[in-house]
Structure 1
Amino acid sequence: MAIRSLGAASGLDLESLVTQLVTVERNTKETRLDATKKELDSSLSGFGKLKSALTKFKDTLTALGDDKLRARTTSIKQPTDTKTYLEAKSSGTAAPGSFDIKVKSLATGSRIESANEAYTSPSAVISATAGKLTFEADGKTFDVNVKANMTLDEFRKAVNSASGNFGVSANIINAGEGVGTKLVLTSSITGEGNELKITSDNAELDSLSTQAFGNSDPASGGLDVAIKAANAEVVIDGISVFSENNTFTNAIQDTELTVLAVTPDANNATLTIDTDKKAAEDKIKAFMNAYNSLLSEVETLTKNRTLGDDGKTVISEGGALSSDPMVRSIMSQVTKTLGSAFSSGGAELNNLYALGITFNDQGKLEISTTSLYGGDSGRQRFDNVLENNYDKIADLFGGDDGISESLDELISQFTNRDGLLVNKETSLKDQLKNNTKDREAFERYIVSYEDTLRQRYGALDSTLGQLQSTSSYLVQQLANLPKYGS
């Protein structure tokens, strides 16, 4: 008869014994695996937080690099409140100043028309033979194929839909008696000398050309230039400046002007270019806040465990990276760099203190409003530099070997794809994978361990059962012997 559970043969609670032994073995190993995983997860999360804080800090350095702190504001007092005549934007190298600007004329494209009474209606045939017309302005060209017996309206549509059309619009005006139906072609190519020119490949199309076939005279065709292409003109502080289009680049050095309308007589626009102090201050404060956040994150990640007076009771757990000296080393290097002198800002602005930025008692960056030892406060120094040495701030942060470049180079050693923090994270992830493999291997082991115990204790149970059966048999036999009872 088969034994269904341990102890059934012997009567002993062997099932409970095996269960307890397996539980002890499982708990001992799982406790170690869980503790290892918890520590690895905590470290991986800690390095992720550190890398994130460093990356955010690095991003603020990018906003301070190059010439990004040389921002300029442009404001325009328009001649009237109801219309915009002029727009402008300046690069960081534009010199501050104020300019009186008159928009004298806008740039225009050319307009070409057919002769009066050249056509009687849009359905008039423009040519009995086929040919090709070439449209050209300012070096740009496109072709229109004319079919035999094509009508004026068909030609209009062919021009407007032509491949490569650079801005020529064909229209038909039905003017009536004395004028008839006129073909009007306008070009968006502006600038003096950039009139639209139309040539053909045969004399039959001369009526649709500005220059007759085989003729060197540019005005020998059947189409006349009604309006010539013209430049835009502005008068800046009494000096006339011209542009082929309505945008003036560097008419005022490092400034782009866009004219939209002619200004009224004796009522000009006023353009003011100034340093953008608020934008510079906002970027610098974002940099300070990012550093302070980085410092707080590092302090949280590296804090030590706090124990009670008995030396055993845990009052607060330590940081996820409290045992890793590299984290404090990173922060120490960043802080040391910030406290250094930088030649990029020149002798008058070669460190953060000269800009008004100092470390407070908690090690965080601040612009103090308190004066010490009779000197200027940090706020006073900061405002003075913004007002009188604005572009030197860009040199201090964005110049060669300036603050931005120096810190970016330092932090990149840790945050780049092959940086120390990434290598740390890779190592921790590998250890977590090994932990998972160890757990899977242990699950296989515990099944084998339990099976082995069941085999051993099953054999024991069977042996004890047989012994008990033999013992009972002997007792019964002995009891049947004469005088056994006495």
Structure 2
Amino acid sequence: MATISSLGVGSNLNLADLLKQLQTAESQPLLALQERAKSYTSKLSAYGSIQSALGVLQASAKKLGDPALFQSVVGTPTVSGILSASATDVSAAGNYTIDVKQLAQAQTVISNGRADTKTAVGNGKITIDFGAITGGTLNETTGQYTGATFTPDATQVPKPITIDSSNNTLEGIRNAINSAKAGVTATIVNDGSGTPNRLVLTSSQTGEKSSMRITVDGDPALQGLLGNDPAGVQNLKQTSAAQNAKLIVNGIDVTSGTNTVKEAIQGATLTLVSTGKTGLSLKENTAGVKTAITDFVKAYNSLQSTAKTLTAYDPKTKTGAALVGDNTLRNLQSRIRQALTTPQAGGVNDMKVLTEIGVGFQKDGTLAIDNDKLDKALANNLKGVANLFSSGLGSTAGYGKQLDAIVTDLNSNALKVASDGVTSTIKELDDQYDAVQMRVDATVDRYRKQFNQLDVLINSMNNTKNYLTQQFNAMTGSNK
């Protein structure tokens, strides 16, 4: 059957525009579906914004629900650069005088120099054990002991290291010691002499019990390189002695195997940096607690602000935001506010409501802080403030813990159900759109075929008309 490449050419009618108008009319249901899908997509995005704001609120509530927040102590030395201090027990609060006499350090020993790091030394088995060197005399020049005693530390188990043809060079020995993770770090230092390459061994731990004794069972050359007994034959030179930290705390001598000194002050940890004398003030971390409470109030107000934006209505344009009249959001806000206005259980003198620490609701539904009242509560009754937000390990009481649990429940149930419902609706609308689009395409295609047939028909009729006109004209001319 004949066809027309461009609609309207054969009939001289504006069929292309007419088809376009028909297509627009048939597509009206698609526009409606698009608008509905857009509305539900905005709603899903709004739920995401609410979940994000809830996440910030939950994080701040969880922090307040942790008893450790209220038990932390801040240490302030009077002289900087000597030590830092922290504590997780408020009983450590107080003022102290600390004199750091000696820092803990690890032992370091070095081997005799070798000309090359890739030449074989010898095979055997190296065993490194740790302990304390007592008595005797240390020659500062040779770095070796005379008349000393080595007492092994039973808590540190020695680990044998095998040296064979695959690793018997200076580099191979270094790598074997490091790979064995035997409590020693091995390096090679070049001192620039004729035999410059020296193996350097440093204990991984500090303290008097971290001194090394190295036993070698194997070739004499390997023994001559590494064999080292502080109480016997010593082939290594000590350049740094293993020693404990020594300090005086309020007139009491204290020793520690590391520079992190725990429980010298009960419940506190001192981190030593250098020797010297300093005062130390340990105080309850009320500033940290106030910051956490302030962050909680900000997070709650941010949730309220987000909710207000998502439920706003513009009377001029008569349009509402994505969650206008949304029951899920309204119930969520109501549940959180109810939790924050329900008094906590407690004794006669315990704090039970937020207003007792200067935190209260405003007319617009937000929270505000009376800083003077909060500062006074933190200074005079930190334990009461702590119980208001967290009643200790294993308890579910306290606004911090309760809000944490509520947000978890909301995300797992109400918000999830609402979000899943909207997602399902969007999927259904997508399926409907595809189905309607197929019907529109089929209808327009049918119109296009009908218009083409009309075009062909009229074109044929025009051709016939022109032919007949020519014939009539020719007959008329012949008769004349």
> What TM-score do the two structures reach when normalised by structure 1?
0.71
Give the Å deviation of 1:90: 2.2
The reply on whether 1:444 has 2:438 as its aligned counterpart is: yes
CA distance in structure 1 between the partners assigned to 2:287 and 2:433 by the alignment: 58
The reply to whether residue 233 of structure 1 matches residue 234 of structure 2 is no
Q: Taking structure 1 as reference, are residues 67 and 201 closer, same or farther at Cα in structure 2, changes over 3 Å only? A: same
Q: 1:286-306 CA deviation, whole Å, 9 max, x = no partner?
A: 111111121122122223452
Question: What secondary structure does 2:44 align onto?
Answer: helix
Contact 1:173 1:184 in 2 (8 A): no
Q: Deviations over 1:38-90 (max 9, x none)?
A: 22122122212222221221122123221353242211122xx6xx2323222
Matches of 1:454 and 1:207, distance apart in 2: 97
Aligned partners of 2:435 and 2:226: how far apart in 1? 89
Is the CA contact 1:345–1:396 (under 8 Å) kept in the aligned structure 2? no
Q: CA RMSD in A?
A: 4.5
| Conservation of the 8 A alpha-carbon contact between 1:106 and 1:232 | yes
1:198 aligns with 2:190: no
**What is the aligned-residue identity percentage?**
27
Secondary structure of the structure 2 residue equivalent to 1:248: strand
Q: Secondary structure at the match of 1:413?
A: helix
> 1:241-298, CA deviations, whole angstroms, 9 ceiling, x for partnerless residues?
22122221111122111223332xxxx3111111222222222111111111211221
SS at match of 1:292: helix
For residue 255 of structure 1, the aligned residue among 262, 268, 280 is 268
Match of 2:184 in 1: 167
Equivalent position SS for 2:158: strand
Alignment gaps of 5+ in structure 2: 116-120, 131-152, 192-197, 473-480
Cα distance change, pair 103–467 in 1 and its aligned pair in 2 (3 A): closer
State the match for 1:96 in structure 2: 93
Letter matched to residue 293 of structure 1: S
Contact 1:160 1:168 in 2 (8 A): no
Q: In the alignment, what sits opposite 1:276?
A: 285
* Match 2:378 to one of 362, 382, 386: 386
Q: Are the equivalent residues in 2 in contact too, given 1:111–1:184 (CA < 8 A)?
A: yes
Mapped to 1, the partners of 2:18 and 2:261 lie a distance apart of 94
CA shift in 2, pair 1:458/1:101, >3 Å: closer
Are 2:154 and 1:141 equivalent residues in the alignment?
no
1:413 corresponds in structure 2 to: 409
Aligned 1:338-417 pairs, distance under 5 A: 338-343=340-345, 347-367=349-369, 378-399=370-391, 400=395, 401-416=397-412
Mapping of 1:291-306 within 5 angstroms?
A: 291-304=300-313, 306=315
Matched, 1:107 2:120: no
Bigger CA drift: 438-447 or 249-258? 438-447
- What is the alpha-carbon distance in structure 2 between the residues aligned to residue 168 and residue 51 of structure 1? 50
Once the two structures are TM-superposed, the CA of residue 390 in structure 1 deviates from its matched residue by 2.0
1:136–1:440 CA distance, 2 compared to 1 (3 A): same
Structure-2 change in CA distance of 1:440 and 1:87 (3 Å): same
Count of aligned pairs between the two proteins: 420
Instruction: Output the amino acid matched with 1:430.
Output: S
1:166 deviates by 2.6
Q: Which residue of 1 aligns with 2:133?
A: none
CA distance in 2, matches of 1:451, 1:207: 93
Residue equivalent to 2:476 = none
Larger relative CO (CA 8 A, sep 6+): 1 or 2? 2
Q: Which letter maps to 1:329?
A: N
The 3 A distance-change label for structure 1 pair 200 and 55 is closer
| Segment of structure 1 superposing worse, 5-14 or 334-343 | 5-14
Specify the alignment match of 1:311 in structure 2.
none
Asked if the contact 1:345/1:402 (under 8 Å) is kept, the reply is no
Q: How far off is 1:364 after superposition? A: 0.9
Aligned pairs for 1:78-97 within 5 A: 78=79, 84-91=81-88, 93=90, 95-97=92-94
Distance 1:354 1:345, change over 3 A: farther
Structure 1 counterpart of 2:429 = 435
CA contact (8 A) 2:175 2:186 kept: yes
- Counterparts of 1:434 and 1:170, CA distance in 2: 67
In the other structure, the counterpart of 1:482 is: none
Which moves more between the two structures, 161-170 or 65-74? Answer: 161-170
Asked which structure has the greater CA Rg, the reply is: 1
- State the Cα distance separating 1:334 from its structure 2 match: 0.6
Residue in structure 2 matched with residue 374 of structure 1 by the alignment: none
Q: Please tell me whether the aligned partners of residues 177 and 185 of structure 2 are also in contact (alpha carbons under 8 angstroms).
A: no
Cα gap change, 1:348 to 1:220, in 2 (>3 Å): same
Indicate how the Cα distance of structure 1 residues 337 and 146 shifts in structure 2: closer, same or farther if over 3 A, else same. closer
Q: Which amino acid aligns with 1:424?
A: A
Letter in 2 for 1:134: T
Alignment of 1:200-219 (within 5 A): 200-201=216-217, 209=227, 219=231
1:210-237 deviations in whole A, cap 9, x for unaligned?
A: 56xxxxxx83445699897443222111
Of residues 301, 307, 324, the one that matches 1:322 is 324
